[in-house]
Amino acid sequence: MKRGRILALLFVSLVLLQSFPTRATDWAYPNANGSGTNFFPQSQISEGNFGSLGLAWTFSFPVASPPKGLNVTGEGAIAPPLIVGGVVYVVMNDLEVLALGARTGATIWRYQPVLNRSGLALGYLAGHVHGLTYHEGNIWLSLPDCSAIALDALRGTLTAKLSRICADIPGNSGTYSFSGAPLTFDGNVMFWTASSVSEGTTAGRGFVAAINVTDGKILWRWYISPPAGGDPKWDAETCAPPCHGNVSPYPGDWGSLGLSNGSTRAGAGPSWGQPAVDQNDGLILIGTSQPSPDWNATYRPGPNLYSDSVVALEIKSGKLAWYFQTTPHDLYDFDCGWNVALANTVIGGMNRTTVFKACKNGYVYALDAKSGELLWEFNPPSLARLNTKNADYAFTGKYNATGKWTQTDSGVVKQCPGINGGIESDISVAYGKVFVAAHNFCSVVRIGPVSKVGASISGASGISFDFLHANTTIYAIDASTGKESWEYFLPSVAYRGWLTSTGGMVIASTLYGRILALDSQSGQLVASITVGSSLYEGVTLGTDQIGEIKLFQLTTAPSYGGFVTAVPGVLLVYGLTRSGSPLELWLPWVALGVAAAAAAFVIGFFRLRRKTANN
């Protein structure tokens, strides 16, 4: 056989291998899997050997080189690295996507997109990317110019671009910004939740879009807030029976949205967290942002549906099936960002598909995925609560729909939880438990006017933080009952990022520079890794080219500046300190040879059939 044919067979073999569905040992979504649970099933790294993990390799991120039109807010990356088929995929805040070999960190390819703002209602575009997604051989990324791109996972070449998703939105008089929300898929349908809006008076009309990735056709859009000018029947008409929710319709909800010189001056959008797809019930489950402007509701009376909510949309039609609002008439910036997690759980003796959601108001909710019924709620006992009454709605059933701001004589409000919320991280669901990091990080806010139009006019100024009394408690909650199983206390620091469950452990990366491994059943500290710099992101895991599990930890310069000093952006990769056996080293080549032989057999079989037919 000629050399060219051999190379062609090898190439076909690689493509065949890459085209297989993702495995349990792949981290293919920002929150590990399509259910968003941050659970990675493996047994190589366990309680018995976590303390033996050693630094395998590091990768220093290059200096940010943003495309024209992007404002980079920090170096390096904050999004969870993906690990698929022995390759690490990471996106920087300047939108550059990198593919690295999981065994050694060797660069395989790099891709830097180009942005196009022309004809779009775009505001300040900040480089702040929350996630990549692997889907059917491609790495997908949402861009701040209202587009989504697919990159071939093997070569890094552009295979698809869906553009102008937020062009000509009916009823929009604001602008769209960017939170780098991850993409979610159901077959060839992509769910785009990146229509984020500012936290000021330029907020646009946020929406969710379903797009056919085969032809780029937008199948439906669902809107989070009314059109510019308001809609007195917004609540009743957008959730017509059998749709239902936990907050009663409010005539005139959102008012007129405070239109001024054609600008809306109020609005809401999807959150940046990963949604979850409930294929059994045909639903996409999404968290939404706080209403804007954040602290002054002069122009937005009512509960402001569907902000601060978990919403269930029908996959085929985009119709609202149910909603659960966590903080009606939010005056505190208590969005429902971070992940929506989906798991099968026995609750009340019944096996239920359950949605688990933590929001910045500091509560954790368990909802029936099909009906939206509240199954249980968890109020972390460690959290201080001050001047945030509407956030208690699920417990009290009461809220003030017309308050313009949190009233004080001086106009200065101490808010607990603070503007970084009581929970500002992804939860993890595994081992029959929900793991969550709840922190005390109060803030002081001076209430300000919202009469002008601007992205930074949020109704507050002079924000300061109570670093002195900051602390975090990690809780394990029984997924069936909502009762606390155990807690682990972290003094002096807040928490940001995510928790990861794997190997019978819960792994927490802390702002005081240690990666903690806690026993999932008892909460006892098993072992830890001292990194030295503050950790603003959690860990992801994946398998390298010879089948060895690696642990991936980002280091960046966090925004919780009171706890940290600036650090360079680095990806740290840990593995068990053992040398590969000859079998391990040859394993990928054996697999490649088997695949090549299979491809050769198929090609030869069809050639023989063709030759026989011709004879």
Annotated domain spans of the chain: 3-54+67-614
Return mean pLDDT, the chain: 88
State the pLDDT at residue 13.
Answer: 36
Report pLDDT digits (tens) over 490-516.
999 999 999 999 999 999 999 999 999
State the pLDDT at residue 66.
Answer: 86
- Biggest alpha carbon–alpha carbon distance for the chain: 97
Return d(Cα 613, Cα 332) in angstroms, integer. 75
Residue 453 has pLDDT above 70, yes or no: yes
Residues 146 and 154 sit within 8 Å (Cβ to Cβ): no
State the pLDDT at residue 562.
Answer: 47
State the pLDDT at residue 14.
Answer: 41
Selection from 331, 321, 312, 310 nearest residue 266 by Cα: 331
User: Which one has a higher pLDDT value, 613 or 251?
Assistant: 251
State the pLDDT at residue 22.
Answer: 56
Selection from 174, 196, 186 nearest residue 219 by Cα: 186
Average pLDDT over residues 551-572: 70
State the pLDDT at residue 606.
Answer: 47
State the pLDDT at residue 348.
Answer: 86
Q: Angle at the Cα of 290 (from 77 to 356), degrees rounded to 5?
A: 75
User: Which one has a higher pLDDT value, 3 or 343?
Assistant: 343
C-alpha pair distances (Å), 505 with each of 65, 240, 428, 471, 525: 38, 44, 11, 22, 9
- CATH architecture group of domain 3-54+67-614: 8 Propeller (2.140)
Q: Which amino acid appears at position 17 of this protein?
A: L
Lowest-confidence range among 83-92, 164-173, 567-576? 567-576
**Cα torsion angle, 571, 574, 579, 583, sign:** negative
Residue 465 has pLDDT above 60, yes or no: yes
User: Which one has a higher pLDDT value, 530 or 12?
Assistant: 530
pTM: 0.90
* C-beta atoms surrounding 90 within 10 Å: 24
What backbone phi and psi angles, to 5 degrees, belong to 538? -85, -165
State the pLDDT at residue 123.
Answer: 87
Residue 409 has pLDDT above 90, yes or no: no
State the pLDDT at residue 609.
Answer: 52
Return d(Cα 238, Cα 223) in angstroms, integer. 9
> Is the previous residue joined to 301 through a cis bond, with omega within 30 degrees of 0?
no
Average pLDDT over residues 445-450: 92
State the pLDDT at residue 126.
Answer: 79
Average pLDDT over residues 107-119: 93
Residues 166 and 118 sit within 8 Å (Cβ to Cβ): no
Average pLDDT over residues 529-541: 92
